[in-house]
Structure 1
């Protein structure tokens, strides 16, 4: 059973999948940083200086001092963070679209089938018959 597991793990598909998962995590971090540090400040600038990450609707205010007995944390709907997540999703989707499009361009199209024509023997027979006439 251990030998079968080793054969399964060492197949190309599993290794390729593992590499893809690791790269996807790294690309996710890069894209998250790009959205949070570059795109959202630009969007906030054109939206009148808003920081979407801090936008929220407070349902219950915080009361008391944090760390002391009787402290109640703020309860809020953080819709700005959700907007950031949606922008992140759109950018990741667009990047994945570009990657797949570039990958599809690298694939070579299958060669068209050669047209069915006369064989060499048939051509030689035609030449022979022409010379006899």
Structure 2
């Protein structure tokens, strides 16, 4: 049991696990921001342009049922919410693509950086090298 706890502690303390956790938290909140952007900023004007339709309200009623208190409840397929979710997915996909593309371009530039070349020896160094070589003979 101690070995398992020690191994788990080593696993959690690795940098990759912490980075993964931070990435997951950031992605969750990024998704919430994009969802709000789509639902609250993009969809109202789009709905207005197509005769004032609110996509979140688009649904297809397939049946009704009577509740215990005698009221009717509609059973619906909420395809408008599905449309909003698809638009949110497309926007998130484009944003993630742009981030990954920028990261890849940055990494490519890092790899292409030339390694520092050793400068050509100065005239004094060349003379000293010749003198050394002559003394060896």
Q: Larger helix proportion, structure 1 or 2?
A: 2
Instruction: Spell out structure 1 runs of 4+ moving beyond 3 A.
Output: 110-113
- 2:8 aligns with 5
Q: Larger strand proportion, structure 1 or 2?
A: 2
Structure 2: gaps (5+ residues): 116-125, 131-137
Q: Deviations over 1:59-111 (max 9, x none)?
A: 11354xx661x555211111111110110110110111111111112211245
Does 1:82 find its partner at 2:85?
no
Q: Of residues 38, 42, 47 in structure 2, which corresponds to 1:35? A: 38
Q: Of residues 15, 20, 23 in structure 1, which corresponds to 2:26? A: 23
Q: 1:1-133 maps to which residues of 2 (within 5 A)?
A: 1=3, 2-63=5-66, 68=69, 70-107=70-107, 108-111=110-113
RMSD: 2.2
Paired residues in the alignment total 113
